A and B are shown apart, each in its own frame.
Chain A
Amino acid sequence: MFNSKSIILSALVLIILVVSVLGGALGASFGFGFLSGPLPFISIAAETIFKPFGYELKNSTVMLWMSMIVLIVLSWLATRKLQEVPSKLQNIFELIIQFFMDTAREAGGDKAKRFLPVVITIFFAVLAFNWLGILPGVGSIGKIETIDEWVSHHSHSGHCSKVEVGHSSKTEVNANKEILSKLCVLEEESSHGFVVFDSYEGSFLSKINIMPIGRGESSRAPLSSIGNYEIEEIEQIRKKILNGEDPNNLEEWKKIKTNISIGRVSELYESKNGTVSPSEYIGKKTGELIPFFRGASTDVNTTLAIAIFAMISIQYWGFSSLGFKGYSGKFINLSHGPINAFVGILELFGELAKTISFTFRLFGNMFAGEIVLISMGFLLPMIGMIPFMGLELFVGVIQALIFSMLTLVFGVMAATSHSEHDEH
């Protein structure tokens, strides 16, 4: 039976669905798209948010520290007042630890018990990294990097490999190297889109850099329209500099340089789907979002660090339970013929492969999840993310479980001698 309440509710759901479909990227291709912002630039590398004393503080490191604090506080709360009849929080931790204890006993008997601190730490840490990365605001709240900062940052990072040394003397090359690499960045990334911040000039909204809602991909201005240059111009400037001319006297370079340092849209541009940008864009602020937070497991450094930690622990368990001779005999096996020697070498490469697979399994899954969430927010604003957030929560648990279980299994394998292994 339908009552008025359920009719209103379903009508509301339908309206939200229609609004989100039309407002998203799908609607944008039919002339709607009033909700779609520009697709954020997806960077595989973690961004640097600030540089104290030359150290690059990454946004994934911030997230790692936050996850650490959350984990430590939670476990402190759980174990602060230990009771024989456990409290709720204590019970959750106990259940998980008990689960790992039982699994370890099944996998490797009593000797697997000493692997547990590492395995359980990996589980909780990876779970915290994954889940905190799904929080709203992670990847979307940050500071705006200006075009000037962006260009010099990219020219410093050695991203551009096209700096050629001409026939000028070495000291001149060094002096002009920075300008040359900047030119190279301008040339290579001329179509790199920057978000046009469509805020009301003069009002307080201009200070908080609101993203332009409803303009879709067309609100990304390419670098060339901000610097107001053509690729041919860059080519000419480079030739002149390499011929020994002082770049500070070159009018063309001065013009581009001031445009870049102003960092506003300076000419009309065509967006990727062929529409010309609205004329009111000229003079608007542009920039790139540098998120303050990035899920710790969406940075290869984090996953590589956990993988290295896990592999060092596994090697340590191997050496300590089989002895130096016993464990290294798995890899360097010369007394049992050439086939066994070859197998030993393969095993050695296997250990390396384990580290790499550990690293990229977790990174790949979590980074892909991040991209799925971003894309769904782009395609179906408001509602598209919801089911995928649930999926990401699930994937977060699964990945944490896989990482810790594999550490446990590899540990058991490393601590089992070959002869013992064959008997099974």
Chain B
Amino acid sequence: MDLAQLLDDKLICVCAGSGGVGKTTTSASIAIGMAARGKRVAVLTIDPAKRLADSLGLSELGTDLKEIDPKIFEPFGLEMTGELHAAMLDPKRTFDELIERYAPDHDTYERILDNRIYKELSNAVAGSQEYMAMEKLLELHELGDFDLLVLDTPPSRNALDFLDAPTRLARFIEGRSLRVFLAPGRFGLKLAGRSGSLLFSALKRITGIDLLKDLSEFFANFADMASGFSERAQRVDALLRGSESTFLLICSPEHEPADEAIFLRRKLHEQKLPFGGAIVNKVRRDYFRARKQLDDNLSEQLEARVMENYERQRLLGRRDAEGVERLEKSLGVENVIEVPLFSDDIHGAEGLVHMIDRLFA
């Protein structure tokens, strides 16, 4: 697979895969590699653990897009002819900006930002990251400042959570089914009909009256904005399905991450999302057909230990090679991009340049 060729006419590259396979580092390397090929690139991460900053050798990375100094890669022989920007997204702020955009008036905007439920949920809760990633992607895409946007997907419990995010965002905002029977009435809330009051008392028992009331207010405030969100969700959906987007699956040769990639491949197919290829990180050296004679200058005891270690490493390398073969077969691709296992995590400019050399080989 030729990464530069694949990404040449793409506007969006989504990197997906399970945790611990080097997704963030790979996203950063792809972005740098394309910037070195003259593109204006932005790489986005939603990672709460500051891994992109780590990857780029920065101590901090803000929520606003920041241009990365091309000089940090120069000592290692990489010349940045394009531009590289990076940001770590902040769910709360992205949500606030969205509300500002869609609120019909300033009062509604302030009322929502003041709502207790909004305050708690927009900030603290897992899952909001995925909504936001998609939102920011759309926003940047529509701004049109960049040739390529690279998205590092959040480390979800389920690596696919983010794919449903646009729809869930709309569903969350609309709260359609709840609004039907939580219409604010004279006594705070009223419910339609007999079954309505039964349901109401059941819900009240679970949640307590206050929570129901706050939820009701929350959704009432959103009522005028729901169509805006829903329409936006559809636009993100269309964007990701389009030919200007591509999904790269990132994994390692180990069983579980590889299985996750195979599973993701199937999901992409089901959801008609464009699959671009797979990158397999942390592949151990395969000593198949390597010269194994040792010169005769080691003690017998040391030679035995060298051979014992070799046998172990050889088996590990074989296992990884089989893992890659299995992956290629299951994904239905001719070849995946293999990145070798380095002696430590890739971090800092030098390591990234090594990785880029492998990715764009």
Is the pairing of A and B real? no
Q: Which residues from chain B sit less than 8 Å from chain A, CB to CB?
A: none
A residues with CB within 8 A of B: none
